[in-house]
Amino acid sequence: MSTAPNKFLELIQNPVKFTFFLLTRLPAAFFSGVRLKYADEKQSVVTIPYKWFSKNPFKSTYFACLSMAAEMSTGILAMMYTYQQTPAISLLVIKVEGSFFKKATGITTFTCDDGLSFQQAVREAAASGKSTTVDARSIGKDDSGDIVAEFVITWSFKAKAN
């Protein structure tokens, strides 16, 4: 792995720097309780609790908060491979699909294992100058290991013109 992804991992795994990032760039995620638990070149793990700021009237975590955590689990991987990339790579979510299986009434942990797909798509976008996409799967489980929700988030990558 090149040094840019390693630098990105160092940044996001620093609790102070990541908290500052959430507060300044994603305040809704910060106040909802979205937190990074783990990230490496292949996987990202993000949690969202059931609490006052993330709840709905049905005594479960609001679907938008679940979606936010799922998107972050994929977005961390997307950002890692585009970080300090030459040429610069633009990234954009172009589609979100969600399925819900069980009420989220505690901490929901979203895991995305598509890091290598992101790495390949960014390489292709940089080499070809054409848009590439990744359909990243993020699975949310409760503390019992039961699947609460599953999302497929489609990311688009394209090298920016110089």
Looking at the chain, the number of H-run helices and the number of E-run strands are 5, 6
Assign residue 54 the CATH number of its domain.
3.10.129.10
What pLDDT, in 10s, does the model give residues 70-126? Answer: 999 999 999 999 999 888 999 999 999 999 999 999 999 999 999 999 999 999 999
Containing domain of residue 39, as a range? 3-159
Question: Any idea which residue has 């990105």 for tokens?
Answer: 8
Amino acid at 91: L
Split into its structural domains, the chain has a count of 1
Its pTM stands at 0.94
pLDDT digits (tens, 9 = 90+) for 4-46: 889 999 999 999 999 999 999 999 999 999 999 999 999 999 9
Peptide bond into 87 cis (omega under 30): yes
